[in-house]
Amino acid sequence: KAGVTQTPRYLIKTRGQQVTLSCSPISGHRSVSWYQQTPGQGLQFLFEYFSETQRNKGNFPGRFSGRQFSNSRSEMNVSTLELGDSALYLCASSLAASGSGANVLTFGAGSRLTVL
Partner 1 sequence: DAKTTQPPSMDCAEGRAANLPCNHSTISGNEYVYWYRQIHSQGPQYIIHGLKNNETNEMASLIITEDRKSSTLILPHATLRDTAVYYCIVRNAGNMLTFGGGTRLMVKP
Q: Provide the strand spans (E) within 14-62.
A: 19-24, 31-38, 42-50, 53-57
Q: Any idea of the CA torsion for 55, 58, 61, 66, to the nearest 10 degrees?
A: -40
Binding positions for partner 1, 85-104, rule CB under 8 A: 88, 90, 92, 94, 97-104
Q: Answer whether 29's CB lies under 8 Å from 72's CB.
A: yes
* Cβ atoms within 10 Å, residue 3: 13
Site string for partner 1, 37-76 (x = CB under 8 A): -----xxxx--x------xx-x------------------
- The answer to whether residue 109 forms part of the interface with partner 1 (CB under 8 A) is yes
Tell me, by CB under 8 A, how many residues bind partner 1: 31
Q: Rule CB under 8 A: which residues touch partner 1?
A: 4, 31, 33, 35, 42-45, 48, 55-56, 58, 88, 90, 92, 94, 97-110, 112
